[in-house]
Structure 1
Amino acid sequence: MASRTFSQGANSCQHQDLCFEPSLHAEEAGYRRPTAQQRAAAAGKAKNGATDMSDSTFPAPLLLPGDDLYTDPRHPPQSLRSWVREKDRNEVTNTRNVIYIAGQPRTAAEVGFVCDWENPIIDRFDDSVNAATPPSHKDVADYLRAFYHGMQLKSLPAKTFLFTSWEDERPKSKRKAESANPGLIGLATSIEKVGIRTRPGPDKIFHQLNLNDLLDAAISVLPDDAYALIMIVNHDIYEDEDDDFCCGRAYGGSRVAVVSTARYNPVLDEEHNVDREHSWPASHCKANMRECCAGDSGPMRSAGNKTRKPNSAGEIDDNLSPPSPLRAAVSKSQDLISSSAVQQVEPTWLSNLWLSRVCQTASHELGHCFGIDHCVYYACVMQGTASLAEDVRQPPYLCPVDLAKLLRATGAKEKERYEAILGFCKEWRETPMFAALGAWVGHRIGDLGAPSKIKD
């Protein structure tokens, strides 16, 4: 399946031109991007001091048809000032300053069938269904430790959560109906046992667990010194009966979040119309944006004021010198993909791709625990997402507005945080998203007037 979702060789897209502004359909959707002056003010910067907020570094949201902002173009913006004034926001304190991460719960023998629910229904896919392995919570923790530099990050003990029978008595082995759909299973913690609702997924790909019940279990074990707790589960999850599935959710006021790895399995990319070739950073490829907008032949226009003008042909010129951070990210990603075409069907390569997606969503959900709302100013990891196809098009970095909030919350320094992220990306430099993020971050460090300590 992996070979069908990648375009390889001479026919693959070269991403020659990048677009830093919303698609033509932004105006049709009713989205009006805040002006450069408004964006600078939202980040707590004077307009004349915001030279590090250029569109070639921090592009606009894509606003492709069906995207979250396309369907909700008037989502209220959250500036740094409004974030500070948010009465329900939790402050980081000297006694509440640790981010905890919990991995996949253990499973008691009497409910061993729960382990089978982690896997997609095999007869719907080819043999590559078991090619990749889910990300380890340790690797996700390492990424979050860099992303949330300035915070302590600890793992909860493996014994914290245990899937078990909801009833006190052990279920009979011949009760096949219970094994197929027990309705409730137990999630035992050191505090209590929580009933977790289960159901067959509407699309029949997974048997699912209820997100709200998992969040209740997470709340029950929140340590006293925890600023937030994120649980990483390998099961598919749903929030309400009307939902098909959910990849993650945070109860920001309660300081807990749950992220599911299930739908990020690369074997499901074709099922969810994921275009790996135009995942971030290549999501800003102008040719692909046109194609996604139903072959629209007009120029890519901004719904708000432009900071860069089209050339005589109505196109946005990306021939910047030196190359923009986004162009550097695209080049690094493309170099890696072009040189590793054979590897893209191998288990390690697919597993690392899976990890990069889960890391991005985990950082997003924890952002909500810091009181950060969905972003409408820029392409940003804190954007809302309406689909898995949109999910992979969004960047892993924080825009200037949301970065200002995080730095204020954690007390971290911008350059030191970028150095921590760059260090992680160096360790995972064979993975396209991390390689691209490392290239982007390296340029940002240069923009801040400090040479990078970590070389490629």
Structure 2
Amino acid sequence: MASCAHEHLALEPSSQAQHAGYKRATAQRRLAAAQPSGQAPKTSGLSPAASTFPAPLVLPNDELSWDPDYDTQSLKSWLQLPERNKVTATRRTVYVVPVPSVAAKVRYVQDWASPKLPSPRDSKKAPEVARPRPLDVRDYLAAFYHNLPVKLLSKPKLQFTSWGDESGARSSKKRLKQAYIALSIGSEAVRIRTRPSRDGFFSGQLNLDDLLDAAISLLPPDAYALLLLVDHDLYEGEDDDFCCGRAYGGSRVAVVSSARYNPALDVAQEVETEHAWPASHCQKYIDACLQEVSQDAAPPRKKAKTAVKPSLPRAASSALHAAAHAFSSISASLQPHSTLWLSRFCKTASHELGHCFGMDHCVYYACTMQGTAGLSEDVRQPPYLCPVDLAKVLRATEADVKERYEALLSFCERFEEKDRMFAAFAAWLRARIVEVGP
């Protein structure tokens, strides 16, 4: 989409929500969902501002467009969840496991982590960009889950190596046909299924379920949860194209991959970067998405009556406006790919760890715990927690809400001069801190 000023920001779901059958909970029910009693407080004026916590967009092909009846999870239902793991005095540390190294005898596995860009003549490797640093991811998660220790787990050392005899797999074609590699965890080796990616972007993918099983064996005694970082593309089932991450919430482990978030793949994967969050709430962009779908659809017999959706003029003062202004103040052409890559990876890491805290996908608001149906929707979603999921995290971590926001702001300020998402999140956080008050 051409350059856009993001003049008006949408606060309510798009008209696609009505066509899909998505019915958002009322303001009263959303307020009740953030209370441990499940009852809305009688005091008026407690509803969060829509200009700070807008509705999910529900654009065509979004997760809620495909599954509009997905169950809600209130704070009360989260508290009553039998399988939810509670933070205890002896089990409260979140561990981040750095990307495993690759043994020399399977050096070709390292090449699998680099994407191939489609070309009319042949496939070329994407230019190298600095990958997200595990330490930066750890720092972000320490702010996101403020008040809990978040540590890098460097021992035992993890390394991808061979599974069985590699002597007969010297050629690249034979290597790609190898069904397995091994993940060495100290003296233990876990078998990892592999395959070429179905869309051709990566020469090899790793099986997500196998990596999650390996992550379970890594859990230290004092761990509340563990997150394993990988550079390789992942797949879950044989029919899947790829998967960016997954959590076994009850087992307190998650795995996230940075592969698909590489900005070098944005054009090939048709990721709309000009309208990533918060510009995803741009009314002009939403209208364009709806128009694109309507051109392919049969004309309706009778024009449906639709209510005028509230939108936020750009001149208005609000958290969402401040975020959009900060986003627009940084030129996309000047944004380093390395920080863009990091911001995407951090957001998914916080989401997957959220499942380890027992949080389900959010359907109340635009929220980092929303489900996603693809990369385009992924970049449209915010990095913040909505009031309902924020209440869950504050309950689990016993953190102070303002101190948590200040910790996140401190992290974002490290990158806000060069990254659009971190700049936007920093602006949103500053406005939110003012709303929270002393």
The equivalent residue for 1:74 is: 69
List per-residue Cα deviations over 1:110-137 (Å, max 9, x = no partner).
1111100001125649978214222111
Instruction: Give SS of 1:188's match.
Output: strand
Task: Give the C-alpha shift of residue 342 in structure 1.
Answer: 4.4
Instruction: State the match for 1:3 in structure 2.
Output: none
- Which amino acid in 2 is paired with 1:423? S
> Is residue 33 of structure 2 the alignment partner of residue 18 of structure 1?
no
> Does 2:212 match 1:215?
yes
* CA deviation after TM superposition for structure 1 residue 336, in Å: 1.6
Alignment of 1:367 with 2:354, yes or no, is yes
Paired amino acid for 1:19: A
The 3 A distance-change label for structure 1 pair 269 and 50 is: farther
Aligned to 2:402: 415
Alignment of structure 1 residues 53-64 onto 2, 5 Å: 53-64=48-59
Matches within 5 A, 1:31-430: 31-44=22-35, 45-46=40-41, 48=43, 51=46, 53-122=48-117, 124=119, 129-157=126-154, 159-167=156-164, 171=167, 174=170, 176-190=172-186, 192-206=188-202, 207-294=204-291, 314=308, 316-319=310-313, 323-337=317-331, 342-344=333-335, 349-429=336-416, 430=418
The residue identity in structure 2 corresponding to 1:143 is: Y
Instruction: Name stretches of at least 5 consecutive residues in structure 1 with no aligned partner.
Output: 1-6, 303-313, 451-456
Structure 2 CA distance for partners of 1:107 and 1:300, relative to 1, 3 Å: farther
Q: What's the CA shift string for 1:173-194, capped at 9, x where partnerless?
A: 7354442332110101136211
In the alignment, the residues of structure 1 paired with residue 123 and residue 282 of structure 2 have an alpha-carbon distance, to the nearest angstrom, of 30
Q: Compute the displacement of 1:271 (Å).
A: 2.1
- Offset at residue 52 of structure 1 (A): 5.5
When structure 1 is superposed on structure 2, of 317-326 and 421-430 the one drifting more is 317-326
1:432 aligns with 2:420: yes
CA-CA distance at 1:160 after TM superposition: 2.4
Q: SS at 2:195's partner residue?
A: strand
Whole-Å Cα distance in 2 between the matches of residues 258 and 336 of structure 1?
A: 31
Find the aligned partners of 2:261 and 2:141 in 1 and give their Cα distance: 18
Aligned to 2:9, what secondary structure does the other structure show?
Answer: coil
**Structure 2: which amino acid aligns with 1:436?**
A
1:441 aligns with 2:429: yes
SS, match of residue 243 in structure 2:
coil
Q: Is the 8 A contact 2:87 2:396 kept in 1?
A: yes
* Partners of 1:265 and 1:432 in 2: CA distance: 16
Q: Which amino acid aligns with 1:99?
A: V
Q: Residue 188 and residue 326 in structure 1: after superposition, are their counterparts in 2 closer, same or farther (change >3 A)?
A: same
Q: Go from structure 1 to structure 2 and tell me whether the alpha carbon gap of 1:52 and 1:128 turns closer, same or farther (over 3 Å shift).
A: farther
| Partner SS state of residue 182, structure 2 | strand
Q: In 1, distance between residues paired with 2:44 and 2:172?
A: 66
**Secondary structure at 2:23's aligned position in 1?**
coil
Structure 1 residues 219 and 191, CA, compared in 2 at 3 Å: closer, same or farther? farther
Structure (1/2) with the larger helix percentage:
1
SS of the aligned residue for 2:329 comes to helix
For 2:45 and 2:284, locate their aligned partners in 1 and report how far apart those are by CA, in whole Å. 30
- Partner residue, 2:298: none
CA distance in structure 2 between the partners assigned to 1:299 and 1:51 by the alignment? 34
Pair 161,204 (structure 1): closer, same or farther in 2 beyond 3 Å: same
Aligned CA-pair RMSD: 2.2
Farther off after superposition, 417-426 or 100-109: 100-109
The one-letter code matched in structure 2 to 1:66 is: N
Contact 2:176–2:195 (8 Å) recurs in 1: no
Please give the alpha-carbon distance, in whole angstroms, between the structure 1 residues aligned to 2:182 and 2:250: 25
Deviates more, 1:86-95 or 1:131-140: 131-140
Contact 1:40 1:47 in 2 (8 A): no
- Return the offset for 1:83: 0.3
| Contact 1:382–1:398, Cα closer than 8 Å, also in 2 | yes
Counterpart in the other structure of 1:305: none
The DSSP-based 3-state class of the residue aligned with 1:180 is helix
TM-score by length of 2: 0.91
Q: Displacement, 1:150?
A: 1.1
Answer yes or no: is the 8 Å Cα contact 2:114–2:125 preserved in 1: no
- Aligned twin of 2:300: none
> Partner amino acid for 1:433?
M
Q: Go from structure 1 to structure 2 and tell me whether the alpha carbon gap of 1:147 and 1:316 turns closer, same or farther (over 3 Å shift).
A: same
Q: Which amino acid aligns with 1:179?
A: R
Contact 1:380 1:398 in 2 (8 A): yes
> Could you tell me the TM-score, scaled by structure 1's length?
0.88
Q: Which amino acid aligns with 1:194?
A: V
Unpaired runs of 5+ residues, structure 2, are: 296-302
Q: Deviations over 1:137-189 (max 9, x none)?
A: 1111111111110110011116521111111x563573544423321101011
Q: Do the aligned partners of 1:300 and 1:316 also contact (CA within 8 Å) in 2?
A: no
Give % identity.
Answer: 52
Give 1:51 shift: 3.1
CA distance in 2, matches of 1:72, 1:52: 26
The AA in structure 1 aligned to 2:126 is V
How far 1:365 sits from its partner (Å)? Answer: 0.2
8 Å Cα contact 2:161/2:183 also seen in 1:
yes
